[in-house]
A and B are shown apart, each in its own frame.
Chain A
Amino acid sequence: MTFEREEYRSVIVGAGIVGLFTAYHLARAGGGPVLVVDRGFLSSGSSGRNGGGVRQQWETPGTIRLAREAVQAYRHFGREFGFNIWFRQTGYLFLAENDGELERLRNVHALVASEGLPSQMLDANGVAGLVDGIAPGAAVGGAYLGSDGILYPFPAVWGVYEAAKSLGVEVALGVEALSTEVRDGRVAGLQSSKGTVRAPTVVNAAGGWSGDFSRRSGLEVPNVATRHEILATEATKPFLDPMVVRASDGLYFSQSMRGEVIGGVALPHRPGTSRGQGSSAAFLTTMARALVGLLPRLGALAVLRAWSGFYDDTPDGFPVIGEDPRLPGFVHGNGFGGHGFMLAPATSRRVAQAALGERTDLDPAQFSPARFLGRTTSAAPERLQLG
């Protein structure tokens, strides 16, 4: 198979939620023809491997605003895209194990509340009311926002995929993006495993592989792919509404619509390891200990399967959105650090704007690729990185 055309207005690398949403917004804005390439199948990367959490509790106003917009978009997703993503607004609960953590959550709460969201601080009793069966003393309190929620990622991917296709976007699966074709100092096209296509704009939305693609295109970037594992248990009747997150060890878990407990925990990152998406014994045992320690009765639930995916991490924890100042026509839509899915409806619109050469409303100090090149000031790093 080759491509339907020899030349496109934009080529997007990565058919995950960010790439597909970007293609959709580009096509809607008349920025076609658009080609999306992905070396795998739909949902084979992190868009099909995440826990489905969508939250608005962040440490910077810029991210909170993007997240609010994303929540609104996901609320109306079913109507707009025809797929039911089962977006359930049953809240996000950040747990604090000691007073120091509680103080930090209080600061987050103050900021979130100042953005007009009804965030709440809970004491240990309030936490126990939301997490039935929590071990005594496991949390001194927490921060909770009821309009945060959980969605089922796959239908979101199918929905945007079908919508983009019906707008004329071409999605080529099983095609690997090799590097960017450069002529006269600007983007001229994409070299792929199925040949070269011409395009003045290439969008890097390759998620965990975006750092690789930027570097193959001659651009040094600080993106690091970090492997994160996740597991699912047997399904039970509903007993847990919110997504529960514990910052101290990066534990997060929720109960899916089908009743499975789905969650993960942070493991020390080992740079330079393989890109396998399997599981490790270290994860299974660490996660089991964390879950059973927090909610003892889960000990009698069996783990059905575990898998992993990649976070595309940046040094400051913020995404990279916008054209690379070193290579006109090369647009970044990456570095989401495990939050690509939850922010995608909002961020992808801006990635599309950048691809069309328009200005976005994003603070360059927080989101632009230039911040890593010393060409602009940088924001204080985001620390609420998990969940």
Chain B
Amino acid sequence: MGEPDRRFSFRGRPCSSRDGETLLAALADRRMPLLHRSIQYHRPQGPFCGIGHCTGCLVRVNGRPNVRACRYEPSPGDVVTTENAWPSPTWDLYATIGFLTPGGVDSLHGLRRPAFATPLFQRLVRRLAGTGAPPTDAAARSITAPAVDRSVEVVVIGAGTAGRAVSAALAARGVRPVVLDRALHPSALSNGELWPATTAVFLPPPADGGDRPFTVLAVREPAQGVRVLARSAVVATGSYDAALLFGGNDRPGVLSAEAALALDGPTRRPPFRRPVVVGGGHRAAEVLEALGDSVEAVVAPSEIRPELVRVANEHGVPLYPRSLLLRTGGRRYVRSVHLQARGDGTRTVLPCDAVILAHRRIPHVQLFFQTGAAMEWRPDVAAYGPRVFAGGATNVPGLFAVGSVAGMPPSDAGAAAAAVADAIVHGSSVGERVPPSSVALASSELVGYYRELMRTPGHGRWTACPCVDVLVKEVEKAVRAGYRGIEVLKRYTSLGTGICQGRYCLPDALLLLSLLEDRPPEEVGYITQRPPVVPTPLAALAALPPPPLAEAVP
């Protein structure tokens, strides 16, 4: 990486970034940026997911709202501003609405009277909502790029360990796949055609099938759409670090492990000095290895595995196994975490400036919903995953799942890739079902954790869905009012309808509902995630060639 010579303005002040560096990395050097306020209560939001899904780093760039700073590399001359706050995200007068309504605003029942005030309430609510000003014409023009069609044998989605192994195995059998990856700068790939910075969305297949049954809309940042028509599709989207429910879980400083690792870049100092890492297994150990001595403590919802104990001892980091994470403390930013030991109930307050969530990784399954793949509850990860058969096959002919999204351990990557490549090249019928084998915090463990947490007072205000500001309290109220099941809860509370489309709130909402409704999580139901799943600019969709109208109706 070169010198920081890409000059842009941020809120009117000059800033600069290096080639290959994201806007967030440039803004998060040494201190946690507060870029955004939440949609309803204007609570301060910091970067959380680090992979372009949450609302934590939305900014306006050159007149385009809702640009994810963690996915955007500034160009010289860019004008970056913040939105949804006045006068600034740090001091936001609209936030008084949050102070005045500690129990949340009941928009279902409240603000109905007096009748003459209705238009006034409506204007106020509209004014408060919305994440940014509408885009300008110039912003829309700048992202319109011609769309192209590409016809390929195999498209691989994800260039992680599993995707690369499949690409290599296919190349060894004479097929060079197109490999799409969300990363802005994935490492090079010799045996496939790698498209970086690309999000993939399955489009429904044409009715006549044809010999290219898979249509993938690949959106290359900032917004070029390419329609890829493929004979086979391999989904190797891996897993992502899940959220966790606790009081103040939306406070700036609460980070996913992915975000924390990304912000600890080679050229910048991370925006935290004494983070607390949450987790008891392999992922927490990875984070600890990367951050080393600066880590204040490791807090685990359940037991701590020997691997992590060893790393913690090397760095002299204290361990808090079997702890309830009650809440974070601090005014705007995380300044402490409040713990309670499970069992003896001892309470501890740890000073810190970040809480890094590395307790649980869940499969990144969104793409499967659009293909009609059969999904099943996976108790090992307490989430839904695709039903996988021998050779990585799914119940959809030509669609394969490989890697951790399919519950395969990384150690099997080579063998699994060979099986998938054989199935694609030589064709094979759907064989036996392969049970997933990942090692993770199990469903029962998490449900037990949440059961204890719910019974323990002292978590204050906790948010079930930070994108839309839905409080846990509101979820409880809905269940008490008799609204059962996740589909109904989504409509009743708006949970899961924000920008991340439920990636971060739904997995825990399922567990929460299972407790509140007193039935197993798999009976609470799941939400069929709706296309395009990845937010896709209208300009990119509009530029696509018109598809045949005879396509099958999903």
Contact = CB atoms under 8 A, between A and B. Distances in A.
> Does B associate with A?
yes
Interface of A: 41-44, 48, 78-79, 82-84, 86, 88, 133, 154-155, 158, 227, 233-239, 257-259, 267-268, 270, 273-274, 276, 278-282, 284-289, 291-293, 296-307
Interface of B: 39, 63-66, 84, 107-113, 115, 118-119, 122, 125-127, 129-137, 139-144, 203-204, 215, 217, 370, 483, 485, 487-488, 491-492, 494, 497, 499, 501, 528-533, 535-542, 544, 546-554
A230 B529 CA distance: 15
Contact of A298 (B131, B535, B538, B552): B538
Contacts of A268: 549
Contact of B139 (A238, A257, A300, A305): A300
Contact of A304 (B499, B544, B552): B499
A181 to B, nearest CB: 30
A299 to B, nearest CB: 3
A289 B549 CA distance: 15
A78 B112 contact: yes
Given A280-B554, A299-B537, A300-B140, A288 B485 contact: no
Given A237-B132, A280-B204, A299-B539, A286 B546 contact: yes
8 contacts: A234-B66, A285-B547, A288-B540, A289-B546, A298-B538, A299-B140, A301-B66, A302-B535
A287 B540 CA distance: 12
B553 A288 contact: no
Chain A CB within 10 Å — which of B131, B135, B136 has the most? B135
Given A288-B540, A300-B539, 6 more contacts: A43-B488, A78-B115, A258-B39, A303-B537, A303-B538, A305-B529
A68 B248 CA distance: 47
B56 to A, nearest CB: 15
| Complex A-B, nearest 9 residue pairs according to Cβ-Cβ distance, in ascending order | A259-B130, A278-B554, A299-B539, A300-B135, A299-B140, A78-B112, A288-B541, A302-B535, A281-B203
Contacts of B143: 299-300
B481 to A, nearest CB: 8
B532 A284 contact: yes
Contacts of B530: 278-279, 305-307
Nearest to B535: A302
B487 A44 contact: yes
A82 B111 CA distance: 10
A185 to B, nearest CB: 39
A44 B115 CA distance: 30
Contact of B108 (A79, A84, A307): A84
B538 A257 contact: no
Q: Summarize B's interface: helix, strand, loop or mixed.
A: loop
B135 A227 contact: no
A258 B112 CA distance: 17
B191 to A, nearest CB: 30
Chain A CB within 10 Å — which of B65, B127, B139, B537 has the most? B537
Contact of B130 (A235, A296, A298, A305): A235
B211 to A, nearest CB: 18
B537 A84 contact: no
Given A280-B553, A300-B143, A82 B109 contact: yes
B141 A296 contact: yes
A6 to B, nearest CB: 24
Contact of A84 (B66, B110, B370): B110
B530 to A, nearest CB: 4
A237 B340 CA distance: 41
A83 to B, nearest CB: 6
Contacts of A278: 204, 370, 528, 530-531, 553-554
A301 B537 contact: yes
Contacts of A297: 134-137, 139-140
B487 A41 contact: yes
B140 A296 contact: yes
Chain B CB within 10 Å — which of A42, A258, A282 has the most? A258
Nearest to A289: B542
Contacts of B488: 41-43
A281 B140 contact: no
Contacts of B133: 236-237, 239
Given A82-B109, A259-B131, A300 B64 contact: yes
A285 B544 contact: yes
Contact of A279 (B84, B538, B547, B554): B554
B483 to A, nearest CB: 8
B539 to A, nearest CB: 3
A282 B535 CA distance: 17
B553 A273 contact: yes
A234 B122 contact: no
B501 A284 contact: no
Given A84-B111, A307-B530, A258 B553 contact: no
Contacts of A155: 108
Contacts of B122: 86, 88, 257
Contacts of A154: 491-492
A292 B539 contact: yes
Given A236-B131, A285-B546, A280 B141 contact: no
Nearest to A43: B491
A284 B203 contact: yes
A267 B549 contact: yes
Nearest to B62: A300
B108 A83 contact: yes
Chain A CB within 10 Å — which of B483, B487, B533, B541 has the most? B541
